[in-house]
């Protein structure tokens, strides 16, 4: 047991070091070579608020018209300062969502940057709750501490589990899963979290949608891809997120829907035809 724990700890340290190298190659290095102009130009692009409507016969009628504020991938760190992230959260608050959904990668690397972000998200008075799932970057440094920060700030952190919201005589089941890289591993976590009764699934990886569709989950919200950051005009899924078939926008099949947000932060200081966004999603019950 002790040897296994040591191996796991060493593997985690190696993974973190590799992530720091990637950060330098794709984030810090290019920005320094440009004298900081790349990041300043990138941050000056700002963000948009995108309004989306989803109608599904699988969505409970008592929650018709529910407004979800969906954000993801702040990547607070070298390329996205805390102050900019807090501006996004203030805008999200001003849109008065019924429910907050953050689908991971609050930080780029270091957990210490997370505290102001989760505190601001938790302070939004969303009547049906403020929810978070962790992304792959959140797990690089100290996910336990980040989770504790989020819970203390009033967020509900969903880790391969579901909670039931009772409101106006109806029940809404919200599930969330941890980060998993492959569709198969995502499916295993979706089975654990959703069973046969979830209405809303929060996941960092959009690949979870394959299993969510099979289980009849009405709405899945995801991030992770950043929409590729470079996309073709009017073709959001023709982008640099080459390992994902569904990498930006709304997808619907057999009554199930998924929205993949382009997120707030970035891997590298450039976005073309792929603005950072807050997604304000209105979900309606549609007769079968």
From the number of C-beta atoms within 10 Å of its C-beta (0-12, 13-18, 19+), residue 288 rates as: exposed
pLDDT at res. 37 = 81
| pLDDT surpasses 90 at 32 | no
Which tokens go with 166?
A: 């009772």
List, for residues 226-273, the tens digit of each pLDDT value.
999 999 999 999 999 999 999 999 999 999 999 999 999 998 888 999
- This prediction has a pTM of 0.94
pLDDT-based confidence at residue 2 (cuts at 50, 70, 90): low
pLDDT the model gives residue 206: 98
3-class SS of residue 62? helix
More confident residue, 36 or 221: 221
Q: Is the dihedral of CA 37, 39, 41, 44 positive or negative?
A: negative
- As beta bridge partners, residue 259 has 221, 250
Burial 40-68 (b: 16+ CB within 10 A, else e): eebbeeebeebebebbbebbbeebeebbb
Q: What share of the chain is helix, strand, coil (3-state, %, to 5)?
A: 35, 25, 35
**Number of Cα atoms under 13 Å in the Cβ half of residue 51:** 3
Q: Cα separation of 151 and 125, whole Å?
A: 15
104, 73 Cβ separation under 8 angstroms: yes
Q: Can you give the pLDDT at residue 1?
A: 64
2-285 adopts what CATH topology? Purple Acid Phosphatase; chain A, domain 2 (3.60.21)
Comparing 79 with 151, the larger pLDDT belongs to: 151
Mean pLDDT calculated for residue range 216-224 = 98
**pLDDT greater than 80 at residue 20:** no
Structural domain boundaries of the chain? 2-285
Which pLDDT score is estimated for 136? Answer: 96
Calculate ∠ Cα 216-222-228, nearest 5°: 135
Mean of all residue pLDDT scores within the chain = 93
Q: Which residue has the higher pLDDT, 128 or 20?
A: 128
pLDDT of residue 26: 73
Confidence check: pLDDT of 148 > 90: yes
Q: Which segments within 57-169 are labelled E, that is strand? A: 66-71, 99-102, 130-132, 156-157, 161-167
Q: Convert the pLDDT of each residue in 159-191 to its tens digit.
A: 999 999 999 899 999 999 999 999 999 999 999
What per-residue confidence (pLDDT) applies to 18?
79
Q: CB–CB of 76/107 below 8 Å?
A: yes
Angle, CA of 281, 189 and 225, to the nearest 5°: 50
Q: What confidence tens digit (pLDDT) does each residue in 87-137 have? A: 999 999 999 999 999 999 999 999 989 999 999 999 999 999 999 999 999
């Amino acid at each position: 047991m002790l040897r296994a724990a040591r191996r796991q700890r060493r593997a985690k340290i190696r993974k973190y070091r590799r992530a720091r190298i990637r950060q330098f190659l794709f984030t810090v290095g290019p920005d320094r070579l440009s004298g900081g102009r790349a990041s300043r130009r990138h941050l000056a692009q700002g963000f948009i608020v995108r309004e989306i409507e989803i109608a599904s016969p699988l969505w409970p009628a008592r929650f018709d018209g529910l407004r979800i504020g969906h954000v993801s991938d702040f990547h607070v760190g070298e390329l996205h300062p805390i102050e900019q992230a807090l501006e996004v959260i203030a805008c999200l608050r001003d849109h008065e969502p019924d429910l907050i959904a953050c689908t991971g990668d609050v930080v780029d690397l270091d957990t210490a940057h997370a505290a102001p972000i989760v505190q601001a998200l938790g302070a939004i008075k969303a009547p049906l709750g403020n929810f978070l799932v962790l992304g792959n970057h959140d797990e690089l440094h100290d996910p336990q501490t980040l989770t504790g920060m989020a819970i203390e700030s009033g967020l509900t952190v969903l880790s391969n589990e579901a909670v039931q919201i009772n409101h106006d005589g109806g029940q809404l089941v919200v599930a969330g899963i941890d980060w998993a890289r492959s569709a198969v591993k995502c499916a295993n976590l979706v089975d654990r979290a959703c069973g046969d009764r979830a209405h809303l699934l929060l996941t960092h990886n959009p690949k979870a949608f394959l299993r969510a569709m099979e289980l009849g989950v009405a709405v899945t919200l995801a991030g992770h891809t950043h929409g590729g950051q470079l996309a073709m005009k009017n073709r959001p899924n023709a982008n640099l997120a080459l390992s994902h078939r569904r990498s930006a926008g709304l997808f619907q099949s057999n009554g199930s829907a998924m929205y993949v947000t382009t997120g707030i932060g970035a891997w590298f200081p450039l976005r073309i035809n792929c603005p950072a966004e807050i997604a304000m999603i209105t979900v309606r019950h549609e007769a079968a």
